[in-house]
């Protein structure tokens, strides 16, 4: 609690131990006074659906942590987006367990490739902010493993994560830091985790339960926040007292120390590691260029009527109006605790100290000059004044926003979680007023997640820009003018709030770590995100994976071969438009009928393919043994079905899957009769899943919440 880092372990000179520095976070190095790159939010990186970019971001961020002598980067964050109003959804990678795991894996590998220990967090089911330190997430057993454990499975087993952070909340009544069944039996036991478990900050409230359960490091050490608790810890000397009393053995302490030290050795941190200096200037041109690219590639084009975009000088387009305070330079408050000007990140520990922010108006003005286009602007949110400026322009671009963040900060009445999904600062009224006087209105939205879009049918274009970081203005300008063809896709389902299976709560504040808890029942079980919408046949505003381009793509020739090690899928993607662009073919699976109470289909594979106009490419996607498995509650293990058949779907998003093929689970070829009836069998499987929907819900609710 006394070091320059957000978490510190003091040096031990007699052992030649230099100590440990831990620092936030997912968007770059926190508290670096503008010397570090202020990256895009993780949800933006996810929207690229580009493994190579995800890895590059991890590598670049890892390098910045390494250059400062930071041992542990507190990233990646891998929560599941259950409810769109949840405050910290921008720090993670969306709603799908498979995809969140793939994103976390690539970023984690990138960070650790630079010699920095990556921290997989927050373990587990910490998916809302209200009373996060005094709440219980009551998760059915199969959902716990198939949904919430999945990202940690990938980062621990495939990524060899150095450390995992135990979350603030309780799971099924027992706080994560005290949850022996999850920390020791499941994480360290079943998953074979070899690194160390740290607590989230001030999430420790005792020594017997927390240290005994398998938490190895208490962060930041003191009982509570503030200088009065620097030398007052629940642990420290109390660990030795517990060993002397026989509460837990000496071996428990040895194991905790060994896990920390061997992780440092594995990442080669014990010799010649840089000295701690948070203010080394690493905000390089290379990092800015990467942030700009990810920002551009994460822009999701939601609507483009009459091909209003990209902007080009023509007889009809000579003057552009840029409207809204969100187009202007932002006020850079500590931890982004204000929303005044363009919105590059949400608030809380997952943000950074910005050296600069390229605002949209400046970037558009500069690019428009190059294209010989005139720009007029109104940098506020008064609807009447905005309409006057927009009326005489050929195209009006309206910038709007909504914000969210971490519980310890309240912004405009929002204590982390959003109070609603409306645009802030009268955004809807601003858009309506401009659209009423300018038929060529384009809307750009900066937000952590979905917002209400009552204006959708009244505007020509909509781009969801998310939270793009320091190069935000350049990133959106690249797409608006067609210098970059948009290729971002939504890593979550976008719908009205009432259509989702669950929501956040707004209960009064309870003391952290106490018996009084807000109860979050995960009654939707396996059916998070698009799975819920598929099951209940609800049409969302925009489905998972949705994203338009300035070109068009065609998918064909889907084939699938089942082998002992997994499923090999091939398909052909063709650019049928007139400009180059990147396609993201997505693979979904329906499991055999023998797997009961399961989603209609699951996202299981993807790739990103750059194609010239008219070009075709064969794409190969592999789904491994684990991806073909489900968690069986009875056997308490992952099981890969060996009977029946999988149905493989391919297309551009969860609601656009034109290709389908069946494959036998045991890898055998179909007989001639089976091949002829393949389509009928597939249809029957889908029908059965739908018919059993009500029984599924009853069964999920019957399953016991194990109180660990």
Write down the catalytic residue from 24, 146, 200, 353.
Answer: 200
Give the angle 679-588-538 at the CA atoms, nearest 5°.
90
Burial of 676 (0-12, 13-18, 19+ CB in 10 A): exposed
Gap between the Cα atoms of 679 and 135, Å rounded: 47
Number of residues in the chain: 708
CA-to-CA dists, residue 699 to 145, 187, 277, 500, 689, angstroms? 17, 27, 55, 20, 14
CB contact at 8 A, 130 and 563? no
CB contact at 8 A, 369 and 481? no
- Is 200 an annotated catalytic residue? yes
CB contact at 8 A, 555 and 650? yes
Gap between the Cα atoms of 501 and 83, Å rounded: 8
For residue 266, which phi and psi values (nearest 5 degrees)? -60, -40
Strand pairing class (319-323; 374-378): parallel
List the beta strands (DSSP E) in 373-494: 374-378, 395-401, 441-446, 461-464
CB contact at 8 A, 80 and 126? no
Handedness of CA 333, 338, 342, 343 (dihedral sign): positive
Handedness of CA 301, 307, 308, 310 (dihedral sign): positive
> Which residue is associated with the tokens 């005290």?
178
In DSSP terms, 617 is beta-bridged to 573
CB contact at 8 A, 394 and 403? no
CA dihedral 216, 222, 226, 229 (to 10 degrees): -170
- Known catalytic residues are 200
């Amino acid at each position: 609690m006394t070091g320059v880092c957000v978490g510190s372990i003091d040096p031990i000179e007699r052992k030649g131990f230099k100590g440990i520095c831990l620092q936030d976070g997912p968007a770059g190095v926190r508290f670096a006074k503008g010397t570090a790159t202020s990256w895009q939010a993780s949800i933006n990186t996810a929207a690229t659906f580009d493994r190579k970019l995800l890895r590059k971001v991890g590598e670049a961020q890892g390098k910045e942590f390494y250059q400062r002598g930071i041992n542990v980067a507190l990233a990646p964050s891998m929560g599941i987006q259950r409810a769109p109003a949840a405050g910290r959804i921008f720090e993670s990678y969306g709603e799908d367990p498979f995809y969140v795991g793939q994103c976390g894996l690539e970023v984690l590998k990138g960070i650790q490739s630079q010699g920095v220990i990556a921290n997989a967090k927050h373990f587990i089911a910490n998916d809302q902010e209200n009373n996060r330190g005094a709440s219980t997430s009551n998760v059915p057993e199969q959902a716990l493993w198939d949904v919430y454990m999945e990202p940690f499975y990938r980062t621990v087993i495939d990524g060899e994560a150095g450390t995992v952070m135990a979350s603030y909340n309780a799971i099924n009544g027992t706080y994560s830091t005290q949850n022996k069944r999850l920390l020791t039996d499941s994480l360290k036991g079943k998953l074979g985790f070899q690194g160390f478990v740290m607590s989230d900050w001030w999430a420790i409230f005792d020594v017997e339960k927390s240290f005994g359960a398998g938490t190895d490091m208490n962060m930041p050490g003191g009982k509570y926040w503030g200088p009065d608790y620097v030398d007052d810890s629940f642990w420290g000397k109390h660990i030795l007292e517990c060993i002397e009393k026989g509460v837990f053995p000496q071996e428990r302490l040895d194991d905790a120390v060994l896990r920390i030290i061997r992780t440092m050795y594995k990442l080669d941190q014990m010799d010649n590691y840089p000295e701690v200096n948070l203010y080394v200037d690493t905000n390089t041109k290379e990092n800015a260029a990467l942030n700009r690219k990810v920002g551009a590639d994460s822009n999701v084009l939601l609507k483009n009527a009459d091909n209003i975009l990209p902007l080009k000088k023509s007889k009809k387009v000579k003057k552009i109006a840029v409207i809204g305070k969100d187009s202007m330079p932002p006020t850079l408050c500590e931890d982004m605790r204000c929303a005044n000007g363009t919105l590059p990140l949400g608030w809380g520990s997952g943000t950074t100290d910005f050296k600069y922010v390229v605002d949209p108006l400046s970037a558009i003005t500069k690019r428009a000059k190059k294209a010989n286009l005139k720009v007029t602007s109104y940098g506020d949110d008064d609807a009447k004044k905005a309409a006057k400026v927009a009326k005489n322009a050929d195209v009006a671009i309206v910038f709007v926003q909504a914000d969210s963040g971490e519980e310890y900060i309240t912004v405009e009445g929002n204590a982390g979680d959003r109070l609603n999904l409306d645009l802030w600062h009268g955004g809807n009224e601003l858009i309506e007023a401009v659209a009423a006087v300018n038929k060529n209105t384009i809307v750009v939205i900066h937000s952590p997640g979905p917002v209400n879009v009552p204006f959708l049918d009244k505007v020509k274009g909509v781009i969801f820009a998310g939270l793009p970081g320091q190069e935000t203005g350049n990133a959106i300008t690249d797409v608006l003018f067609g210098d970059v063809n948009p290729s971002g896709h939504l890593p979550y389902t976008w719908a009205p709030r009432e259509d989702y299976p669950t929501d956040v709560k707004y209960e009064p504040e309870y003391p952290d770590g106490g018996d009084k808890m807000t109860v979050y029942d995960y009654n939707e079980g396996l059916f998070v995100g698009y799975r819920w919408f598929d099951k209940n046949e609800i049409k969302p505003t925009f489905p998972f994976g949705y994203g338009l381009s300035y070109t068009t793509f065609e998918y064909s020739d889907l084939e699938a071969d089942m082998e002992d090690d997994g499923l090999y899928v091939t398909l052909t993607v063709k650019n049928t438009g007139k400009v180059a662009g990147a396609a993201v073919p997505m693979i979904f699976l329906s499991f055999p009928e023998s797997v009961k109470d399961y989603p209609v289909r699951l996202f299981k594979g993807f790739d990103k393919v750059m194609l010239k106009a008219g070009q075709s490419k064969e794409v190969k996607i592999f789904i491994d043994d684990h991806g073909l498995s489900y968690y069986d509650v009875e056997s308490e293990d992952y099981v890969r079905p060996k009977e029946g058949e999988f149905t493989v779907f391919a297309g551009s998003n969860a609601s656009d899957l034109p290709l389908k093929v069946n494959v036998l689970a045991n890898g055998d070829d179909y007989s001639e009769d089976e091949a002829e009836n393949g389509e009928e069998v597939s249809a029957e499987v889908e029908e059965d899943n739908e018919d059993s929907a009500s029984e599924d819900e009853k069964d999920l609710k019957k399953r016991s919440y194990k109180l660990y």
